Structure 1
């Protein structure tokens, strides 16, 4: 496939902020599998420890990061290629492949399959099995969407990235930005204390403290 055709096809899928209806469902399912709700910790460690990634809107952090930090920049065309939709489609394809192989250990949730897609319909443990297919090159790269089509190195890079982004988004200040979290960084404001900070006992960034660091001198002699 030539660059011109590749570029035209990519532009076609950039019309809306989220061009694929299932993009958000896929990333919600992904972060819920990585950092699930743990109600069993409430009694021993307090209710704050039971919160999962969905409580902190970590899925939105993944989408925002893929579309801004990891987006492909076509220099000659001055155009950004957002990755969230393509990554979501790739995970859905991997999930379908897992089901086709009979690799899922838990029955799929057929009630949400048509609306939310194959990846979200898998049990959390089976979602990791679908990702493993991509990591171990067991999926046919030729059926993956652009820009992952026949590009194993980029597939692996994005798979690793979205896993790390789930952890980063959960334990950083993202959840504390509240209604401003989807703004550009310079417009965000901390509206409340982030969940991840509460869980690990982080007091927040220091604004500095007064301390004696010596005296000014005009001349120094040994």
Structure 2
């Protein structure tokens, strides 16, 4: 691709691997019983490319808000967030608290976080939530910013859920377009799993009680 250096390609691969590992840990491929079919494998967040949703939101929404609040210019929210996850993973490894051996083949372009087992990735996130890492060694905007660190851990737990159970996965070829250009191309798996029938403009909705207010005339 023209205009992209090898360093940028390497960074993009690192970011992709890190967020693939994140969403896979939160919503892995799982089993579900379906009537008349039996037990079937259900695609997880990684298979549905939900990591792209997380990356898009961080880069196009959250990053802009944080940069504006902290008056930042040249700061990559994606890179610093991936490094934050790696900081938690490194701390977990250094403490000898990992439950399973490291695996560098699953996500070869990632860092320590990607090398952890799925359950250990979740434990690394918990460790970060508890601020059991050296905040001084983190990249901007997380450096010495415990509030932002904790908020981001909440965000990283929530975004995979939003992407997986919303209509985002069904945008298909338009999923990375600007919102006004996205189109639902098929029925989302998340809607099927939650038995949501989809939007309907014909639903009747209770909108409260009719209020009759008598206005008193103001006498000058």
CA deviations on 1:67-112 (whole Å, 9 max, x unpaired) are 1221123379795855222111110121112111111011111445
| SS of aligned partner of 1:22 | helix
Aligned to 1:52: 44
Q: Measured at CA, do residues 65 and 167 of structure 1 come closer, stay the same or move farther in structure 2, by a change above 3 Å?
A: same
Distance of 1:206 and 1:105 partners within structure 2: 47
Is 1:183 the counterpart of 2:177? The answer is yes
| SS of aligned partner of 1:73 | helix
Aligned to 1:131: 125
Aligned length, in residue pairs = 196
Aligned to 1:64: 56
Q: Measured at CA, do residues 78 and 29 of structure 1 come closer, stay the same or move farther in structure 2, by a change above 3 Å?
A: closer
Is 1:91 the counterpart of 2:79? The answer is no
Q: Is the 2:75–2:140 contact (alpha carbons within 8 Å) kept by the matching residues of 1?
A: no
Shift of 1:130: 1.0
Q: Which stretch shifts more, 45-54 or 168-177?
A: 45-54
Distance of 2:16 and 2:177 partners within structure 1: 18
CA deviations on 1:96-139 (whole Å, 9 max, x unpaired) are 12111111011111445763211111001100111122111110
Distance of 1:44 and 1:161 partners within structure 2: 38
| SS of aligned partner of 2:185 | coil
Q: Measured at CA, do residues 17 and 182 of structure 1 come closer, stay the same or move farther in structure 2, by a change above 3 Å?
A: farther
Instruction: Report the RMSD for the aligned CA atoms in angstroms.
Output: 2.9
Aligned to 1:37: 29
| SS of aligned partner of 2:62 | coil
Q: Which stretches in structure 1 are left out of the alignment for 5+ residues? A: 1-14, 211-222
Identify the match of residue 195 of structure 1 among 189, 198, 209.
Answer: 189
Aligned to 1:5: none
Q: Is the 1:24–1:59 contact (alpha carbons within 8 Å) kept by the matching residues of 2?
A: yes
Q: Is the 2:67–2:73 contact (alpha carbons within 8 Å) kept by the matching residues of 1?
A: yes
Distance of 2:84 and 2:197 partners within structure 1: 39
Shift of 1:17: 9.5
Q: Is the 1:73–1:80 contact (alpha carbons within 8 Å) kept by the matching residues of 2?
A: no
Q: Is the 1:42–1:50 contact (alpha carbons within 8 Å) kept by the matching residues of 2?
A: no
Q: Is the 1:108–1:121 contact (alpha carbons within 8 Å) kept by the matching residues of 2?
A: yes
Q: Which stretches in structure 2 are left out of the alignment for 5+ residues? A: 1-6, 205-220
| SS of aligned partner of 1:189 | coil
Q: Which has the higher helix share?
A: 1
